[in-house]
Amino acid sequence: MMIPNSSALPFTWTKSSYSGNQGDCVEVAHGAVPAALPVRDSKRPAGPAVVFSADTWWGFVDAVKRGDV
């Protein structure tokens, strides 16, 4: 699912502590939607957010940690 304007949502967005100053970051709204995670581009807070199932999101995070992605 995609949300066209993520800034209109009453969510608290967080950025990874691993993010550098290059601006290539995503923000996640943990706990905003049951069993799902909205994700958006940190450079575009009024831009769209993509909503992933929790299993899909954490599978992606694990793949990144392993170096698979």
pLDDT in tens, 1-52: 898 998 888 888 998 777 767 777 889 998 777 888 999 998 898 999 999 9
In a domain, 53, yes or no: yes
Total structural domains in the chain?
1
In a domain, 29, yes or no: yes
Residues 6+ apart with CB under 8 A from 15: 25, 26, 27, 42
Global confidence as pTM: 0.78
In a domain, 51, yes or no: yes
In a domain, 14, yes or no: no
In a domain, 45, yes or no: yes
In a domain, 16, yes or no: no
- pLDDT at site 39: 92
Question: Is 39 within 8 Å of 49 (Cβ atoms)?
Answer: yes
Domain hosting 45: range is 1-7+25-69
